[in-house]
Amino acid sequence: MEKFILGLAIGMAGGALLVANNCKLLNLVKKNQEDIMQKAESYIDKKLDELEQSGSDKQKKSAQKSAD
């Protein structure tokens, strides 16, 4: 899912840059590209944090079971 979002963002920005001829439109495209990249990065960071938390929870449970 993350690769799809990243590819989509890069593809949209690349296509828009090819079409953009004037300075205002080019700046708007760059701004939108940065926004999409930030959203994608925050989504990926969120997913990584969730995975880390679930992994640490599993480690705590296995440590408790071995201590019993």
pLDDT of residue 47: 92
**Residue 20 Rama label (left phi>0; alpha psi -120 to 50; beta):** beta
CB 7 within 8 A of CB 30: no
Q: What's the CA gap between 57 and 50, in Å, rounded?
A: 11
Look up residue 65 and give its two tokens: 């079971």
Look up residue 67 and give its two tokens: 């201590």
CB 40 within 8 A of CB 6: yes
pLDDT of residue 45: 93
Per-residue pLDDT of the chain (68 residues; tens, 9 = 90+): 777 887 888 888 777 777 766 677 778 878 888 998 899 899 999 999 998 888 777 766 666 666 65
Domain boundaries, the chain: 2-67
